[in-house]
Structure 1
C-alpha cells in the first residue's frame, strides 16, 4: 500500500530524524532568503528515469544500489513556467521518495486523491534533501534528485526501517504552487462590520486588533476584511495562511504567524470555529472570526499555555494565501 507523505505523519518524522542525524552538520546550510543553494545536475540524478504526466504518480526507474555522489544532485525533468520557489516559501508539492539502495518507496503523497502536501522550503524544518530538490525551481517543474545520506536520514536511518543507516534517497517532486514568505492577502478591502473587533494593518500586513467594550457574541461571527478572487477553499483543504489569535477577554495576542512566515495545515486538524471561518472563502481573502468557546478551546478545557480559559472567546485575523482540495485523479 502506498504511504501518504502527510504533514502530521511522515513529514513530521522526517523533520525529527533530520535533527538527530549525526551527518546533519556536514550538510549544506539553509540558503539565506532569496539565495539558492548550489544543487546542480550530476551523473547520479541524470541516471534517474522519470515518465508520466505532471501531477500524477510518476514511473521512476533507476539502478538500485549503484547511484552515488559526494553531494545532493537534481535534474529538472520538466521545467515549469511559473514563479520561482524561494528559500522560506511554503510550497505545495506531489512527491515520491525512494530508498536508492533497495529501490523501495519510503513515502509518497496522494497525487490528487487527497489535499496536496505543503512543505516549508527551510532545511531547519524539513529534511534537507527535500528542500534541496525543490528550492529555486519554478512552479510547474518536475524534479528528479539523488539525495545523499547526509541530506537524508544519515547514520540514524528512518524510524520505520525503510531506510537504513547511511543509505541515500531518490526524490521525484512536482511543484504545484508556492507562497512567498512575505505574502499577504491581496483581496479588495471591505467595509467593517458593526460589532466586530476593529483591525488595523501595518505595512507588512500584520494586524492590530481592538476588542469592543461589550460582551463577546455567543455564536460564531465571521466577516470578510479583504475579498479575494481565487478559488473557493474546500472543507477538506490543506491551507497556507498567516494568522493572529487574540483573546477577547484580555485583548492580548496569544499566537500568530506574522513575523515567522506563512504556516500550513489541514482544516480537519484545527478547532472547528477556525476551520469554519476559512472553508468557503476565496483564496486571497482576509477574514476575521470571533469564535465562542464551544467552537474553540472550550471543549478541551481551554489552553493554559496560551492563557485561554475554558469559557474564553477567541478572535482570529486570517490571510488565506493558498489552498489545496481533494480532486479525483483524471481517468486513464
Structure 2
C-alpha cells in the first residue's frame, strides 16, 4: 500500500450539518459502528505521541468499525469537518506496522470527515471528539480504492484489513458560518448548498478590469495574517460565457486544503484576497485576465480555520 498522501490542491489557476447529533458518539444512531474488530486492539502511551499498539492478527472485518481508547473533550466532529490527525497504520492480517504520520507536530493537510479521499478512515472519525484516540478497522480494498479513485474490488479476501490508531489533534469549521453580507452590483451572485458548496452565477456583462474582492459571509473568528496558514474550501469559475468550473475542492473529494499565505508560489491576487479576512468568512474575489492568464476567474473561498 502506498503512503497516505497529503491532499494537495493547486491554487495557481490564475496562471493556468451534521449526520449525527452533537452529543452522539461512535456506535450511536447515525454515527460509525463499533464492534469486535476494533475493540480487540489496544494502544498505550500519551495522546500525540506514537502509541505502543497490540494488534491481534488476523483482524477480520466486513465493515469500518471504531473503538475509542481516549475520549477527548474538544469539539465533536461532524460531516465536512476538516481535521488534523496523527496515525499509525497496521496490516490487519499480520499485525505489522505499515506506516505512521511521524508525530512531529507538522501541519500537513487535513482529512475531511465524510470526504471521498481516505473514505473509510474519514467516515470513521465522525462523532468522535478532538483530543480523542480512536482505533479504526477497515477493509483494505476500501482504503486502497479511496486512494486510487477506483471502485472497491467485489471479491475481497475478508482477512484483508487495515487497522489505524488515530489521534485527533484539531478540527475546523465544516463551512463558512459568518453572517450574510448583501451582494455587490456587477459582481457574481453566490448561493450556498446545505453542505457549504457555493453556486456562482456570473452576470452577463463585461468582467471588471481590476481585482474586486467582496465578502459573501463575514466570520467572527481569528484574522488571517500574512504568515498564516489558512484552512479553506474553494471553487473557481471562469467569467466568460459559458462560465465553467476551473477547479473546486468541494467536488474534488470534498476535501479542505491548507494555504500558506507566505508561500511565494501562491499568486499574489489570491494572497491579497485572503490576508486580513476572518475565520468563518466566505470571500469572493474576481481576478481579471492578464497577459499571462487570458481568462478572468471568480474564486469563492470558505475560510474554515487558521494555523
What is the CA distance between 1:238 and its match in structure 2?
Answer: 5.5
Q: 1:317 to 1:8 in 2, by over 3 A?
A: closer
The 2-side partners of 1:202 and 1:168 are apart by 38
Residues paired across the two proteins, number = 267
The 1-side partners of 2:162 and 2:193 are apart by 43
Deviations 1:101-136 (A, max 9, x none): 3633424166532245223424x54242x1353133
**In the alignment, which residue of structure 2 is the partner of 1:42?**
36
What is the CA distance between 1:225 and its match in structure 2?
Answer: 3.3
What is the CA distance between 1:92 and its match in structure 2?
Answer: 0.8
Equivalences for residues 228-267 of structure 1 within 5 A:
228-233=219-224, 237=229, 239-241=231-233, 243-250=234-241, 252-255=243-246, 263-267=255-259
Q: Would you say the 8 A contact 1:149–1:167 is kept in 2?
A: yes
TM-score, normalised relative to structure 1: 0.62
Q: 1:264 to 1:313 in 2, by over 3 A?
A: same
Describe the SS at the equivalent of 1:274.
helix
Deviations 1:58-96 (A, max 9, x none): 323215x6352334443211223455434x424313131
**In the alignment, which residue of structure 2 is the partner of 1:159?**
none
The range that moved more, 138-147 or 252-261, is 252-261
**In the alignment, which residue of structure 1 is the partner of 2:288?**
292
**In the alignment, which residue of structure 2 is the partner of 1:70?**
61
The 2-side partners of 1:4 and 1:70 are apart by 21
What is the CA distance between 1:271 and its match in structure 2?
Answer: 6.1
The 2-side partners of 1:6 and 1:84 are apart by 23
Describe the SS at the equivalent of 1:267.
strand
- Alpha carbon RMSD of aligned pairs, Å? 4.2
**In the alignment, which residue of structure 2 is the partner of 1:20?**
none
**In the alignment, which residue of structure 2 is the partner of 1:169?**
162
Q: Would you say the 8 A contact 2:72–2:129 is kept in 1?
A: yes
User: Any gaps of 5 or more consecutive residues in structure 2?
Assistant: 10-17, 21-28, 146-156
The 2-side partners of 1:152 and 1:208 are apart by 33
**In the alignment, which residue of structure 1 is the partner of 2:189?**
199
User: Any gaps of 5 or more consecutive residues in structure 1?
Assistant: 10-31, 155-164, 300-309, 326-332
Structure with the higher fraction of residues in helix conformation: 1
The 1-side partners of 2:259 and 2:245 are apart by 20
The 1-side partners of 2:140 and 2:240 are apart by 51
Equivalences for residues 173-188 of structure 1 within 5 A:
173-175=166-168, 176-177=170-171, 179-180=173-174, 183=175, 185-188=176-179
Is it true that 1:97 corresponds to 2:93 in the alignment? no
Describe the SS at the equivalent of 1:89.
coil
What is the CA distance between 1:141 and its match in structure 2?
Answer: 2.4
TM-score, normalised relative to structure 2: 0.66
